[in-house]
Structure 1
Amino acid sequence: MTDPASIDPAEKPANLSNPRRAFIKKTGKKLVRKIAGFQSAQSKVPDTPKLDNAHFPWLSEFTDNWEAIRKEAQAVLAFRDDIPAFHELSPDQYRLSTAKNWKTYILYGFGQRMETNTQLTPVTADILSRVPHIQTAMFSILAPGYHIPAHKGVTKGILRSHLGLIIPKDREQCRIRVDDTITAWKEGEIFVFDDTYEHEVWNETDEERVILLFDFDRPMKLPGRVLNKTFLQIMKFTAFYQDPKKNLASAEEKMEAAIRQADANIEAMSDPADT
């Protein structure tokens, strides 16, 4: 299994070497560091690597319905070959996602529900619609033996949640480190963390791991909310937003075709004229 940390720089997608893109990325990182302190001061919840679920009482709807959500994830896995790898949607993630080792089935992208993909996940999509200020949601599918190297998220204005759905039997070997806290996923359990703290993932088992991953706005005071909204709006004018947006549209078209074909196959098998 390839460790992303060992990727040859020559494998970097050519469009990511654009000098203008590199300048925007470098400038953006400086801006993010400058505003992080303000976002922390504006936060209504602790600025810690992991956060207590008690701060988000609406999470209980996920744990109450996790088996229904898992059933929908299993339905999605029937289209495994049509689910894109993370870096196929977001090319900037090429160091974290290699080959088909980390697949992502997107349900919400940039605050918008993916209408085609959620055809297969009505229960999950309905629950996600009640997450306050949801940004992104996906079924995150990690291959056996894969390691996602240490990295940090973009902004403190967003928090991330993981709900365990399909977890290897040896679950202690399938885990995430956020700062100095290590958590092994468990089916039906959910937790929230701040992905601007360094984090990495291991699946040191011979089984696949599937979770529901979703991002939502950090609860903040009014000035913090205004800054967060402005920052996210600015991001929409960059390639870091535009590239994934285009790739998401293409992935949805491919999935829609796969769903139509599957429906046609089922209809053909059930047609009395064919028996």
Structure 2
Amino acid sequence: MIINLILIPNSGLKVIILKQLKEEWFAYFSSEHYSDSPNFYSSENFDWAKAIEANSNEIATEITRIINSADFTPKGYFIKGLTVQSGWKTFSFLTWGIKINEALTLTPVFNNLLAHFPEIVSISINILEAGEKIKAHHGDSNTFYRCHLGIDIPQGLQKCGFRVNNQDAEWKNNKLLIFNDANKHEAWNLSDKKRVIVVFDVIRSEYKHKKKAICLKIRSFLILQLLFEQYSFIKKMPKWIHRIINSSIFILLFLLYPYQKKHGVIKKHN
């Protein structure tokens, strides 16, 4: 809540105006649906976005080298129900403020970006195999921008594209597609080649002072979702029990945070 105090001239009266900040939204524990922001944002509005695009050729070169290496092992996205053929794969360098040091040594350009833009909290390679679709879903929170940098886009919008609410957009090599992850979105790759992008998550400026708490909240819920996937009986429990489990995970991650911040991730989750 922001409080503005306004003095009315020649009256001696002061009027208090209350301005409500946009409410933080987190998946599952907030309202069921979210649609309170633009579908897409221009990269021209953000210094970090301009820097990412300015370094896009170097990023693409490093990512292509990593993907073509013999030991590249991306993991299938852990929520199986979001895809048709389990052809959505990721490889992380930074996961919600915690570095995967082994991966970051492969990409000097990412280390340079992180040194200049601490609001970047996640970086990962994101692969969508040929013929795959990601079903429409709401993401984790409205407190950050999700950004897709095109690395290897096989075809245009009809065969390979992205939708936020009812607005379609196409990925382009070396260009960012920026949106609010809380909005309903989906993706498809109906071409005969895989689609490769790099995903950046960037904390919104109005929430920078809450970066640590936001990252811990999102990591907590990701782990809870992983438990849902692995143990169906947990998913069937009442929501109030889910809140207790989620809060317990949050406390554990909070206690681990100083160690992980210094030494990197203990066990990676996407």
Q: TM-score, normalised by structure 2?
A: 0.66
For structure 1, which runs of at least 5 residues remain unmatched after alignment? 1-27, 41-46, 253-275
Alpha-carbon separation, structure 1, partners of 2:53 and 2:62: 15
Mark the CA change 1:171 to 1:207 in structure 2 (over 3 Å): closer, same or farther. farther
Residue type at the aligned position of 1:77: I
Correspondence for 1:110: 96
Residue type at the aligned position of 2:216: Q
RMSD over equivalenced CA pairs, Å: 3.3
What SS is found at the alignment partner of 1:156? coil
Residue type at the aligned position of 1:52: S
Structure 2 counterparts to residues 209-224 of structure 1, below 5 A: 209-220=195-206
What is the aligned counterpart of 1:32 among 30, 33, 43?
30
Number of residue pairs matched? 208
For structure 2, which runs of at least 5 residues remain unmatched after alignment? 1-25, 228-252, 254-259
Correspondence for 1:71: 61
Mark the CA change 1:31 to 1:165 in structure 2 (over 3 Å): closer, same or farther. same
Asked if 1 retains the 8 angstrom alpha-carbon contact of 2:27 and 2:139, the reply is no
2:99 counterpart of 1:101: no
Deviation at 1:80, TM superposition (A): 6.3
Asked if 1 retains the 8 angstrom alpha-carbon contact of 2:93 and 2:103, the reply is yes
Mark the CA change 1:66 to 1:231 in structure 2 (over 3 Å): closer, same or farther. closer
Structure 2 counterparts to residues 79-94 of structure 1, below 5 A: 79=69, 82-87=72-77, 91=78, 93-94=79-80
Asked if 1 retains the 8 angstrom alpha-carbon contact of 2:39 and 2:165, the reply is yes
What is the aligned counterpart of 1:233 among 210, 216, 237?
216
* Greater helix proportion: 1
What SS is found at the alignment partner of 1:74? helix
Deviation at 1:58, TM superposition (A): 2.6
- Please list the CA deviations of residues 46-102 of structure 1 after superposition, one character each: whole Å capped at 9, or x if unmatched: x21211223212312222221111111111112466423243xxx3x2212576612
Asked if 2 retains the 8 angstrom alpha-carbon contact of 1:49 and 1:195, the reply is no
Q: Percent identity?
A: 25
Asked if 2 retains the 8 angstrom alpha-carbon contact of 1:118 and 1:125, the reply is yes
Deviation at 1:192, TM superposition (A): 1.1
Mark the CA change 1:152 to 1:243 in structure 2 (over 3 Å): closer, same or farther. closer
Residue type at the aligned position of 1:31: F
Correspondence for 1:49: 39
2:179 counterpart of 1:196: no
Residue type at the aligned position of 1:84: P
Asked if 2 retains the 8 angstrom alpha-carbon contact of 1:179 and 1:198, the reply is yes
* Greater strand proportion: 2
What is the aligned counterpart of 2:108 among 107, 110, 122?
122
Asked if 2 retains the 8 angstrom alpha-carbon contact of 1:32 and 1:155, the reply is no
Deviation at 1:122, TM superposition (A): 1.3
Residue type at the aligned position of 2:116: R
Asked if 2 retains the 8 angstrom alpha-carbon contact of 1:173 and 1:184, the reply is no
Instruction: Give the structure, 1 or 2, with the largest relative contact order (CA under 8 Å, sep 6 or more).
Output: 1
- Rg (Cα) greater in structure: 2
Asked if 2 retains the 8 angstrom alpha-carbon contact of 1:170 and 1:205, the reply is no
Asked if 2 retains the 8 angstrom alpha-carbon contact of 1:164 and 1:188, the reply is yes
What is the aligned counterpart of 2:140 among 154, 176, 180?
154
Alpha-carbon separation, structure 1, partners of 2:225 and 2:111: 24
Residue type at the aligned position of 1:157: T
Alpha-carbon separation, structure 2, partners of 1:80 and 1:150: 33
Residue type at the aligned position of 1:105: F
Residue type at the aligned position of 2:106: L
Mark the CA change 1:170 to 1:225 in structure 2 (over 3 Å): closer, same or farther. closer
Q: TM-score, normalised by structure 1?
A: 0.64
Mark the CA change 1:182 to 1:230 in structure 2 (over 3 Å): closer, same or farther. same
What SS is found at the alignment partner of 2:105? helix
